[in-house]
Amino acid sequence: MPELPEVEAARRAVEEHCLGKKIKKAVIANDPKVIDGVSPSDFETSLVGKTIVSAHRKGKNMWLQLDSPPFPSFQFGMTGAVYIKGVAVTKYKRSAVNDTEEWPSKFSKFFIELDDGLELSFTDKRRFARVRLLKDPASVAPISELGPDALLEPMTVDQFTESLSKKKIGIKALLLDQSFISGIGNWVADEVLYQARIHPQTPASNLSKENCATLLNSIREVIEKAVEVGADSSQFPSNWILHSRDNKPGKAFVDGKKIEFITAGGRTTAYVPELQKLSGIQLTTAMGKPRKQGSKRKGGEDNDEDGDVDEEEETTAVAKSKKGRNPRGYKKRKGSLDDDNYHKRDGSSEDDGNNDDDDEDEDEDQKKRRKVTKIKQVKAVKIPKEKATTQNTKKPKKRAK
């Protein structure tokens, strides 16, 4: 799922290539699941003739400021991505549109042509993104309900320590809560916790001030480095756990140390037990059962979708994790600020045919197993019809006098 580095790479590409240019043509997809609250024709009319003044971002949301409102806003979801024809924006593995595909892509939801001929497209294969037309994107949900941006609004060590001291949930679950800090998703959370040598299920309130300072520094370093290289994972440092997150259990190592996979904050989580340890009461209260990493799909991609339940999101997962339960098939609370999906899912997914949510696949398997078990139980207690009839019609024998 696109996280802060991927969205920031898109924002910078727009800033570098599109500012000061007028929108000559606009094509908005007829997809009400993605195009939120406005008809394609009204959206197109509001864009044509306007000049792009600036590009903004908070967390995993981006919006374009035009010379007059309303402004287009993009919530990237699980596979949202910005493409500028002829410009390398970012190479996020699950969002990439092949060079051989038609332009604009069949997955394009928002397309504009500028007065100098440059063309920009926002695509979304899985249809979990949201594209809106808003007078002031920063003043309304979901952006208005986000916590401080992990890159642009860093907390001080004292602020961070004070905030964590009041939170008893696991530290990874807290980092995924977009109302606490915005922009961190599954892979970034795993990376910063690994670099800080903190177990992902450690209760946030148990972290010392030194732990908090180390974690805050890891957040800054990981995000700054990822942004510096345009979110191109091939240029990330070789000692990052991210490079091995998609490997199968038993075959995942970083710097020669074994990576294990568990569930933390409702998400598939990679960590190194040798370096990220729980101790004392934390070990018995926070530790969950190890879970299997998602199976590989064709093309070598993992079914886990980097966890990010999706920008369809994490605050509900955070709440569930407090009770020690995995959020299987949970319904979102109205207004929850998970990883990226502020809206409810409607269950439809006109995508490329790949279901990347490992937890959803697991739910379906469990439902089937429960159904089969129930059927077996019913068969076991069923009495044959003929036998039952005979038993019910037999007259009781008279006792001998």
Q: Active-site positions?
A: 2-3, 60
Q: Closest by alpha carbon to 89, among 12, 23, 185, 183?
A: 12
Nearest to 187 by CA among 57, 46, 93, 83: 93
- What per-residue string of b and e applies to 223-254 under the rule 16 or more CB within 10 Å gives b? beebbeebbbbeebeeebbbbbbbbeeeebeb
Is the distance from CB of 75 to CB of 340 less than 8 angstroms?
yes
- Burial bucket for residue 144 (CB in 10 Å: 0-12, 13-18, 19+): exposed
What are all long-range contacts of 206-209, with beta carbons under 8 Å and residues at least 24 apart? 206/282, 207/161, 207/164, 207/171, 209/157, 209/161
Task: Label the pairing between strands 260-264 and 267-271.
Answer: antiparallel
Task: Determine the Cα–Cα distance for residues 267 and 376; give it in Å rounded to an integer.
Answer: 33
Question: What secondary structure letter does DSSP report for 365?
Answer: H
Per DSSP, what are the bridge partners of residue 170? 203
> How many CA within 13 A on the CB side of residue 214?
12
Question: Which residue, 186, 127, 32, is CA-closest to 353?
Answer: 127
CA 7, CA 224: separation in Å to the nearest integer? 13
Could you give the CA distance from residue 57 to residue 74 in angstroms, rounded to a whole number?
Answer: 9
What's the CA gap between 347 and 128, in Å, rounded? 10
Residue closest to 248 by CA, chosen among 358, 382, 399? 358
182 SS3 class: strand
Alpha-carbon distances of 251 from 112, 221, 276, rounded to whole Å:
45, 27, 18
Q: Of how many residues is the chain composed?
A: 401
Amino acid letter, residue 65: Q
